Structure 1
Amino acid sequence: MKCALVTGGSRGIGRAICIKLAQELGYHVLINFQHNEDAAKVTLAGIEATGGTGTILKFDVADHAAVTNALSQWESSHPEAVIEVIVNNAGIAKDGLFMWMSSEDWSSVINTTVNGFYHVTQFFIQKLLRQRYGRIINIISVSGVKGTPGQTNYSAAKAALLGATKALAQEVAKRNITVNAVAPGFIHSDMTANMDEKELKKLIPANRFGEPEEVADLVSFLASPKAGYITGEVININGGVYS
């Protein structure tokens, strides 16, 4: 059974990626979530509606012990499973001006994005190397590429993941493992629901927000055998928003 793991797979971009990986590439999808089990069940229903299969896994990517325990238990009960694709999508935003930013708002955003990437990817990396195949895709953000005021913590976390993507890609390329980052701009999701879309559209050359399915299409391509010669890349999907 060939599998793909998507962290933060219960809603928005993560949900769209889960459904697309099952639908287009035939993966059994592990849907990670932390809080909203009902939303994760909706994602699973979306996968099953297209004829695919999936499993819901609850753990906090920022908690090393929780990640290790959940994934170890799943592996031990599914010895025939082979993880081929890891999508590090889990992330949180706690926006505010840096001069008023609390230590907790800084640390929690860094821990979820950066340490979450480490905990999940490190758990599987030796297995990917032994099987000589893998696709690691890190969801960053336009904020990690150009920086966004009011998001110093979020920009720092996503920029760190950008650097990790480029470094790890060089370490594992000889074993047919690619590591790439996808940097969405303004995408319709819970994270952008409270933004002033009418005003922000003026900043976007394409004059609209993107859809989660458009990001999922890109991730699905990078997760496929067709993308075997693309690694260490950051691919922007932002409607033309550049600094």
Structure 2
Amino acid sequence: MKSVLISGATGKIGLAIARAFKKEGYGLALVYRSENKLSNLDEFKNDENVIFLRGDLKNFEECQKVVDAALEKFGKIDVLVNNAGMTKDKLLLRMKVEDFKDVIETNLYSVFYMSKLVLKSMLKNKYGKIINIASISGIVGNPGQCNYSASKAGVIAFTKSLSKEVARKNINVNALAPGFIESDMTKNLSKDEIVKSLPVGKLGSAEDVANAVLFLGSDKASYIHGKEIIVDGGAI
């Protein structure tokens, strides 16, 4: 049985990704930060091939504990989905230093930590898929999101660099850049105006993202390396 480690698993996108991999028979290591949202994963709680791992992924030691627990359960990690993320949107002149720091550490540092730790197992097994959830904000920028856009641009650049290090080891590293998706991060946005601007005329769903992640985590994507796959309804 293949296994997948998914961070940010309690959000709409993380949950959709977990469901997609579970449907394909994967063992799941689901990482969450807050107990408040753990009930979102209740559908998996009686499944012996699913484990729940709490960790603040801004902290390297906690990332180490999460990865160690997943390896202890499954023996290997075939797919890593770095989905943990947050926003603290403000215009730059109003943005506090902590607002910038928290977003960069959560969205970018965690990708570095988790990838570094999981890569050892993947190199040993000569197989692995790493999918980093970025954003179109990391490609085109967005007002009020200097911190978020910078973090996601960093994720994309990190992806391209790591891919070139490990592609010959049978390890695929790719990024997924969603646009405006119905999720926790977009619930406070003015959706009517956004929808009008989208060629497809609607927001994307968490399942749209999950389907693309599942593809990148499969052997059908074995010749795709170091790319950012955009799922945005034609927004950019």
Structure-1 residue corresponding to 2:220: 226
| Other structure's SS at 1:61 match | coil
* Corresponding residue number in structure 2 for 1:81: 75
How many percent of aligned residue pairs carry the same amino acid?
A: 38
Structure 1 residue 192 and structure 2 residue 186: aligned?
A: yes
Quote how far apart the aligned CAs of 1:129 are.
1.0
**1:190 offset after TM fit, Å?**
1.1
SS at match of 1:83: coil
Q: Does 1:23 align with 2:23?
A: yes
Q: CA deviation at 1:203?
A: 1.2
Alignment of 1:1-243 (within 5 A): 1-24=1-24, 26-35=25-34, 37=35, 39-45=37-43, 47=44, 53-76=49-72, 78=73, 80-242=74-236
Q: Which amino acid aligns with 1:53?
A: N
Q: Distance in 1 between matches of 2:231 and 2:113?
A: 26
Hey, what's the Cα distance between the residues in 2 that align with 1:241 and 1:14?
A: 22
One-letter amino acid of the counterpart of residue 28, structure 2? V
Q: What are the ranges of 5 or more consecutive residues in structure 1 without an aligned counterpart?
A: none
Query: How many residues end up aligned between the 2 structures?
Result: 236
1:12-58 deviation per Cα after TM superposition (whole angstroms, max 9, x unaligned): 1111001101112x1111110001x353343351x579x88311100
Question: Is the Cα–Cα contact under 8 Å of residues 4 and 27 in structure 1 kept in the other structure?
Answer: yes
Partners of 2:19 and 2:75 lie apart in 1 by 19
Name the amino acid aligned to 2:37. A
Checking the alignment, whether the CA contact within 8 Å between 1:142 and 1:183 is kept in structure 2 is yes
- TM-score, normalisation: structure 2: 0.95
Any stretches of 5+ residues in structure 2 without a counterpart?
Answer: none
C-alpha distance in structure 2 between counterparts of 1:74 and 1:183, whole Å: 26
197-206 or 52-61: bigger deviation: 52-61
Do the aligned residues in 2 keep the contact of 1:140 with 1:159 (CA within 8 Å)? yes
Partner SS, residue 191 of structure 1:
coil
Decide whether the 8 Å contact of 1:31 with 1:44 is kept in 2.
Answer: no
* SS at structure 1 position matched to 2:77: strand
Deviation at 1:73, TM superposition (A): 4.1
What do the CA deviations read for 1:107-160 (whole angstroms, capped 9, x no partner)?
000000111011111111121111110000000001001101100000000000
